[in-house]
């Protein structure tokens, strides 16, 4: 005669409870995030380029500094593109990517302000740096007091980053080509002078877009 084996908990008249265990299907083990990716490596290279730009600038080797900045600016676009294309987004990349951008832009602005020593460069640089510090503070505040608030990167956020990179690249290249902004006798129609003037105008435009994006960020958090 076959005997039916009942669960021990039923024999003891106790409710059966599935306790979470190492092999429980209800709680599968969390997979460790893979941070060793090409996009993260590109972001790390951008971080490493920051001190390289400063050293090259003071050697002085402005052409090398301009080249390093250009290569770093390319990685700013490339790491995000590859991360999305290959599905290699990571929390480490989300942390380091904006940090690398801010360090690259801030360091270059400080170098230019110190070298040119003109309100034409100092004012937009101050606006850009003030916005970045303000938005960083707002992000920390929102994570603590408004964690439910989600602010996505709007078009002006991407536009300000692109304008900043192009403007700073142009200014570095113009100075490397021999532009002398404070020299009144310089030929204003020379290639270096025209590149400097166009890049300076773009720096002011990027400052305006940067401030506008910061105000939009604050408005979203206030809503």
pTM listed for this prediction: 0.79
- The confidence score (pLDDT) of residue 204 equals 97
Of 16-25, 40-49, 81-90, 102-111, which gets the smallest average pLDDT?
16-25
Residue 96 burial (10 A CB sphere; 0-12, 13-18, 19+): buried
Mean of the pLDDT values across residues 189-214? 92
Kindly list the distances between the CA atom of residue 193 and the CA atoms of 20, 140, 177, in Å, as whole numbers in the listed order: 70, 42, 9
Q: What CATH code would you report for 36-145+153-176+189-222?
A: 1.20.120.1760
How far is C-alpha 30 from the geometric centre of its chain's CA atoms?
28
Residue 41 burial (10 A CB sphere; 0-12, 13-18, 19+): middle
Confirm if 53 and 108 have CB atoms less than 8 A apart.
yes
With b meaning 16 or more CB within 10 Å and e meaning fewer, what string describes 112-148?
Answer: bbebbeeeebeebbebbbebbeebeebeeebeeeeee
The mean of the pLDDT values for the chain is 82
**What six digits make up the tokens of 23?**
């092999």
- The confidence score (pLDDT) of residue 207 equals 96
Of 21-25, 33-37, 190-194, which gets the smallest average pLDDT?
21-25
Q: Give the pLDDT band (50/70/90) at residue 112.
A: very high
Please name the helix (run of DSSP H) or strand (run of DSSP E) that holds residue 85, with its range, or none: helix 62-86
**What six digits make up the tokens of 42?**
């590109």
Q: Give the pLDDT band (50/70/90) at residue 29.
A: very low
How far is C-alpha 147 from the geometric centre of its chain's CA atoms?
21
Q: In the chain, what are the domain boundaries?
A: 36-145+153-176+189-222
């Amino acid at each position: 005669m076959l005997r039916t084996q009942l669960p021990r908990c039923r024999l003891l008249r106790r409710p059966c409870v599935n306790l979470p265990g190492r092999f429980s299907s209800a709680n599968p083990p969390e997979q460790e995030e893979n941070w060793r990716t090409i996009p993260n490596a590109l972001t790390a290279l951008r971080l490493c380029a920051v001190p390289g730009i400063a050293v090259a600038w003071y050697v002085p080797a402005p052409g090398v500094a301009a080249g390093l900045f250009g290569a770093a600016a390319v990685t700013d676009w490339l790491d995000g593109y590859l991360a999305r294309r290959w599905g290699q987004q990571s929390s480490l990349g989300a942390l380091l990517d904006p940090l690398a951008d801010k360090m690259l832009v801030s360091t270059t602005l400080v170098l230019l302000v110190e070298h040119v020593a003109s309100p034409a460069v100092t004012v937009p640089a101050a606006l850009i740096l003030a916005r970045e510090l303000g938005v960083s503070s707002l992000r920390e505040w929102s994570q603590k007091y408004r964690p439910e608030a989600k602010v996505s990167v709007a078009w002006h956020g991407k536009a300000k980053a692109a304008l900043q990179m192009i403007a700073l690249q142009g200014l570095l290249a113009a100075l490397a080509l021999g532009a002398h902004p404070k020299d009144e006798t310089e030929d204003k129609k020379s290639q270096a002078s025209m590149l400097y003037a166009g890049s300076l105008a773009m720096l002011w435009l990027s400052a305006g877009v940067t401030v506008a994006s910061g105000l939009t960020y604050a408005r979203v958090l206030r809503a």
